[in-house]
Amino acid sequence: MAGRRVNPPMNFKTMAVPDVPRGRNGKHRMIVSQILSDLGQVPEGMAIKVPLADLAESKEKIRSALNRASRKAGLIVSTASDATFLYIWTEKTAAKVS
């Protein structure tokens, strides 16, 4: 047939849109969830100490993932580290002026 166009073969597989996974569950999700959970339980003025040896990824990658998650949760989180631990604490939020 002269007028019929033949499509080239597809390069990738397809799937139904309702079956597409939603949300981002990155590889740092578990440790970041644990840190945020602990931060919600520590008294003001206290920091949590995460042993660097327990981290599957570098402290820089964990800090980045924690920064993304804490901003999404509306928290101001600060970090520091030494050769052994990653220290994490929440900062006071500024009081809103009416």
Q: Which residue has the higher pLDDT, 64 or 22?
A: 64
Predicted confidence at residue 70, as pLDDT, reads 92
Give the Cα separation of 87 and 84 in Å (integer).
Answer: 10
- Helix, strand or coil for residue 41? coil
Predicted confidence at residue 2, as pLDDT, reads 62
pLDDT tens digits, residue range 23-78? 666 778 889 999 999 999 999 899 999 999 988 888 999 999 999 999 999 999 99
